[in-house]
Amino acid sequence: MTLTSGRFIGHDQDRGIVQFSMQDGAKEFACAISTSAMDDLERGPRARPNEREAQFTRLRERIEACAGRKYQATEFEGTPPGIVLRSIDFRG
């Protein structure tokens, strides 16, 4: 089964990540992307903390496509297992 869009959870400024979820049928998977990866994708100035949700929305299609690739490759991290995206995941 493939992943579908889940929900935006929030920006964790202390950890430098944006948390979101993806769905595999009824099962929800926790996901995160580093804020530096989002800034790298936009190739502009760093977004301010209050701009992170809008930035995620602009980049959502690319972020979720990358999360889907990591899901298919079973590249999970943490407990419970989730998907973490970094700048390196968007190269190549």
> pLDDT tens digits for 1-39?
578 999 999 999 999 999 999 999 999 999 999 999 999
Fold adopted by 1-88? Double Stranded RNA Binding Domain (3.30.160)
**pLDDT computed for residue 1 by the predictor:** 59
CA angle in degrees (0–180, nearest 5) for 65-70-72? 95
Annotated domain spans of the chain: 1-88
Give the tens place of pLDDT for each residue, 32-91: 999 999 999 999 889 999 999 999 999 999 999 999 999 999 999 998 899 999 999 998
Residue by residue, DSSP assigns 43-68 as: TSSPPPGGGHHHHHHHHHHHHHHHHH
**What's the one-letter identity of residue 25?**
G
